[in-house]
Amino acid sequence: MRPPGLVLGIESSCDEMAAAVLRDGREVLGSRVHGQDATHAPYGGVVPELASRDHLRAVSGVVEAALAQAGVAPEDLDAVAATAGPGLVGSLLVGLSFGKALAFRLGVPFVGVHHLEGHLVSAELADASLAPPFIGLVVSGGHTALYRLEAADTPPVLLGQTRDDAVGEAFDKVAKLLGLPYPGGPALSAAARDGDPAAVAFPRPLAGAPGLDFSYSGLKTAVALEVERRGELGPRDVADVAASFEAAATDHLVTRARRALRDEGMARLAVVGGVAANRRLREELAAAGRRDGFRVVFPPPELCTDNAVMIAAAGARRLARGARDPFDREAFSRGPLGPSAP
Ligand code: KG4
Ligand code: ZN
């Protein structure tokens, strides 16, 4: 595989506009992430129309800032990669169109990247010694899935995924029920630190069920009922319910990940996506790894949540394999990663 040189990556699948410049798919020369928490906080969740409007205002400044940090002029770029999906189409269109237009103007190759391929690559960026075969656990606001990664040049195989809500979505919704500030996941995790994880015995999702699927809607309902039962919530209630929810939510991930490693005969696990930043999940999986004898790799928190470093890296790999996308490549809102990926 020929190293692709300087690649600009652009990510805009949800409410982060991000740009990064990588040399040869690994060395980060510049990286910028522009979030929109203040825009969406009053609504308690991402408002798609506001997200795409903010992206339009931010995109050129974010790309310029990443290039400036890298000390690179646009003309120095060898290729451009941008997230094509899945995600909010209005958001995706901004980064994807900007990336295609820039590549067209510069006369360099363009590739679209599947957002989850980016998340999975982030583990290999964080630990250069991690190489397939390994199991990938993707835990974010939009996805909860287990993949088997066989080799660098074969598509990941989906082993199981959520039947309803994503784990990050459950964190965000439970945080809202507990009156915690937006964005919910990190706030809930912080509140849980002062609570007793055994205060409420929330049911473990799909307990006793075989397979590698996930489910979070039942757990979310159980939390809603508990909150209703308690009435007015004091700080102690919030901490205890948060800690008990977090324990059940992470337990479910640990059970499924251990089963996947055992069933697939693997000894390496990569945990990626926003929820991989969760402290309890990191501790529980590290402890399970010591017990069962598997190695677990987590990217640093800034590579767990959405960023463009992972998109530039995944794009660089596709370019090195000879991939090129036409300038009419479209954004897509849904679609699994794998052989039939859009
Ligand atoms: O990967 P990401 O930035 O965006 C998606 O692709 O969805 O993940 C965002 C999700 C949100 O649901 C957020 O609440 C959750 O990751 N998250 C966390 C933590 N940090 C972010 N959930 C639990 N604990 C955290 N520390
Ligand atoms: Zn993501």
pLDDT digits 0-9 by tens, 290-331: 999 999 999 999 999 999 999 999 999 999 999 999 999 999
153 and 76 assigned to the same domain? no
337 inside domain: no
The boundaries of the domain holding residue 198 are 131-302
327 inside domain: no
278 and 253 assigned to the same domain? yes
H or E stretch at 324: none
88 and 203 assigned to the same domain? no
216 and 276 assigned to the same domain? yes
Q: State the Cα–Cα distance between residues 60 and 81, nearest whole angstrom.
A: 15
Contacts of 249 (CB under 8 A, 6+ apart): 167, 170, 171, 216, 219
Gap from CA of 117 to ligand 2 centroid (Å): 10
Gap from CA of 114 to ligand 1 centroid (Å): 18
271 and 158 assigned to the same domain? yes
Which ligand has its closest atom nearest to the C-alpha of 11? 2
333 inside domain: no
108 inside domain: yes
151 and 235 assigned to the same domain? yes
Which ligand has its closest atom nearest to the C-alpha of 301? 1
Best CA proximity match to 9, nearest among 318, 335, 316: 316
- Quote the number of domains for the chain: 2
Give me the DSSP letters along 247-281.
Answer: HHHHHHHHHHHHHHHHHHT--EEEEESGGGG-HHH
341 or 202, greater pLDDT: 202
Secondary structure class of 123 (helix, strand, coil): helix
330 inside domain: no
260 and 246 assigned to the same domain? yes
Confidence band for 154, pLDDT divided at 50, 70 and 90: confident
Ligand 1 environment, Cβ below 6 A: 14, 140-142, 168-169, 171-172, 183-186, 189, 273-275, 277-278, 305-306
280 and 316 assigned to the same domain? no
223 and 139 assigned to the same domain? yes
Give the nearest ligand 1 atom to 279 CA. Answer: 26
341 inside domain: no
99 inside domain: yes
Question: Ligand 1: which residue has its CA nearest to atom 23?
Answer: 185
> Would you give the distance in Å from CA 181 to the centre of its chain?
21
Question: Across-strand partners of 149?
Answer: 134
334 inside domain: no
Q: What is the pLDDT of residues 65-87, one digit of tens each?
A: 999 999 999 999 999 999 999 99
Question: Across-strand partners of 21?
Answer: 8, 30
Gap from CA of 189 to ligand 1 centroid (Å): 11
Confidence band for 338, pLDDT divided at 50, 70 and 90: confident
109 and 26 assigned to the same domain? yes
Contacts of 131 (CB under 8 A, 6+ apart): 124, 152
Mutate to test the pocket of ligand 1, among 144, 275, 279 (most ligand atoms within 8 A of CB): 275
Mutate to test the pocket of ligand 1, among 139, 245, 305, 311 (most ligand atoms within 8 A of CB): 305
162 and 102 assigned to the same domain? no
313 and 274 assigned to the same domain? no
Which ligand has its closest atom nearest to the C-alpha of 299? 1
CATH assignment of the domain containing 149: 3.30.420.40
